Structure 1
Amino acid sequence: MAQWKEITTNEEWEQLLAATTEQPIVVLKHSTACPVSFNALQEYEAYLGKTPNPDVKYILVKVIESRPVSNQIAEDTGVKHASPQILYIKNKETVWNTSHWAITEEHMTAVLN
């Protein structure tokens, strides 16, 4: 089963973003205080528990606990912050993003696999 890695610093984010030229990443921006976000996290984990794209690195950012990282992601990608939100980043470009109830295992499978 693929696993996500939580990042908490801008340095970690900068390294991951730079490395997207070699390995794309999927970032889930998750609010620990939001039921919609809780549902999105369950969908993310359901996707990772099946057959996720093995060429992708999976990341989690808790937007309340790691607000500076969340803000930096919005700034670097040009994607207005939402929570929950998922971004697929390849070659330092956001290829796909969605938020709220659109974050489903089925949607992720269709886009990422």
Structure 2
Amino acid sequence: MNWNNLTSEVQLEEIKKESHNQAVMILKHSTTCSISATALSRLERAWKDENAKGLKPYYLDLLKLRPISNKIAEEFDVEHESPQVLIIKNGKSIYDASHFDIRFDEIIENL
């Protein structure tokens, strides 16, 4: 799985634009949380590029970059969770899940 690091608020505008051509996934990950580590591991083990339907994955270390996490919640009108995955399509969040509800199969079903 090839993560794209989300490290600036400017990237959120780029992600919105990009999502008009392909769906984008944002994973907000807490590096000190065992639930977040488990969710990340399960997602990475299940990820198969050939089954991802062109979904582009972005990774946010929300402990280092909490202001970006807050901006994601504001921009995409979702309640902040950790860990959390959002699917962005046509500039809007069409799906979000948190904790153990983060599952590759369900993400793909919601594209």
Long gaps (5+) in structure 2: none
Amino acid corresponding to residue 9 of structure 1 in structure 2: S
Taking only the aligned residue pairs, the percentage that are identical comes to 32
Aligned partners of 1:3 and 1:48 also within 8 Å: no
- Structure 2 CA distance for aligned equivalents of residues 59 and 110 of structure 1: 19
Alpha-carbon distance in 2 for matches of 1:64, 1:79: 18
RMSD: 1.6
State the TM-score, normalized to the length of structure 1. 0.87
- Offset, 1:94: 1.1
Number of aligned positions between the proteins: 111
2:10 & 2:46 partners in 1: Cα distance? 27
- 1:33-83, CA deviations, whole angstroms, 9 ceiling, x for partnerless residues? 100000111122123246332422111111111111111111100001000
Name structure 1 gaps, 5 residues minimum: none
Counterpart CA distance in 1 for 2:12 and 2:96 is 17
Structure 1 residue 109 displacement after superposition: 4.0
Q: Distance in 2 between matches of 1:5 and 1:47?
A: 18
Contact 1:46–1:105 under 8 Å retained in 2: no
* 2:105 paired with 1:106: yes
Matches within 5 A, 1:1-113: 2-49=1-48, 51-112=50-111
